[in-house]
Amino acid sequence: MLWGVGEAQQQVAPARGRYRATLAALLVIVLLGAAVAILAATGGLETSTRRGPVEHGPQEEFTSSDMRITVERAVVVDQLPGSGVFTDADAGERVFAVLIEVENLDVDPRLARSDGGLSRVIADFGIEGEPEISVYGDGDFSVVTLQPGVPARLLLSWMVDDDQIGDGDDVHLTMPDAEKRESTLTPGTFVWDELPPSAVVVTTVEDLGEGREDGRL
């Protein structure tokens, strides 16, 4: 009789061990699932899944920061009227300019000079500061607004030293990226949060010499 009870206890003990191990495994799975859900909801997984910047060439259309963009050409010139950059030839100053076509894909008008906007374009040869942005052929460089669904040709212009960039040099232009969200401070309004760059455009610089009085390339 006693032998039978002992044998039953020996059979029950492993079963309890397996039950506890199963519960522990289920608990781990539940906790991992909750952690993944929290990371996904807060954007914690986005950084690890985002690819690096995609390389494009001139005349190649791409989408970034909810804008459709094509870099047409990059030039260096002594002066560029209407660009918003004023140079002094005696001081060795010139203008580096990038002509682009851009279309705002958002439903609302958007300032070209804004977070995640065209003012965040970066050239790779040590230019300081943000570019002046002007409507090509118009001379308007005060406040450039991108209307929804309306393509526009714009100039991005920087002042450079005369030996900083020259004809035939390749330049890498890092293009901004951003996403739109509703403001937590003022509900009903929207802001743009900058993201890591999604595109780099590689193009060759043309030297246009003195430039034209009408500001065209």
Would you list the DSSP string of the chain?
A: -HHHHHHHHHHHHHHHHHHHHHHHHHHHHHHHHHHHHHHHHHTTTHHHH---PEEE-TT-EEEETTEEEEEEEEEEES--TTSS----GGGTEEEEEEEEEEEE-SSS-EESSSTTSGGG-EETT---SPPEEEETTT---S--EEPBT--EEEEEEEEEETTTS-TT-EEEEEEEEEEEEE-SSSTT-EEEEEEEEEEEEEEEEEE-TT--TT---
Which of 51 and 67 is assigned the larger pLDDT?
A: 67
- Please give the average per-residue pLDDT across 70-83, as a whole number: 96
pLDDT at 45: 46
Phi-psi region of 104 (alpha: psi -120 to 50; beta: other; left: phi over 0): beta
Query: Residues 178-201: pLDDT tens digits?
Result: 999 999 899 888 999 999 999 999
96 vs 124: CA distance, rounded Å:
12
Which of 36 and 101 is assigned the larger pLDDT?
A: 101
Confidence of residue 20 (pLDDT cuts 50, 70, 90): low
Question: Is the separation of the CB atoms in 174 and 53 below 8 Å?
Answer: yes
Confidence of residue 40 (pLDDT cuts 50, 70, 90): very low
- Whether pLDDT at 66 is above 90: yes
Full-model pTM = 0.75
Which of 93 and 14 is assigned the larger pLDDT?
A: 93
147 vs 137: CA distance, rounded Å:
18
Task: Write down the architecture of domain 53-207 according to CATH.
Answer: Sandwich (2.60)
- Whether pLDDT at 92 is above 50: yes
Domain range list for the chain = 2-47, 53-207
| Token pair of 178 as six digits | 């951003």
97 vs 143: CA distance, rounded Å:
18
pLDDT at 42: 46
Question: Is the separation of the CB atoms in 115 and 65 below 8 Å?
Answer: no
Query: Residues 135-172: pLDDT tens digits?
Result: 998 876 778 999 999 999 999 999 999 999 999 999 99
- Whether pLDDT at 113 is above 60: yes
The fraction of the chain above a pLDDT of 70, given in percent, is: 76
Question: Is the separation of the CB atoms in 137 and 114 below 8 Å?
Answer: no
Which of 21 and 149 is assigned the larger pLDDT?
A: 149
Which of 2 and 56 is assigned the larger pLDDT?
A: 56
Question: Is the separation of the CB atoms in 175 and 69 below 8 Å?
Answer: yes
User: Cα 177 from chain centroid?
Assistant: 2
The fraction of the chain above a pLDDT of 90, given in percent, is: 65
pLDDT at 31: 56
Beta bridge partners of 154: 100, 135
- Please give the average per-residue pLDDT across 19-39, as a whole number: 52
pLDDT at 141: 74
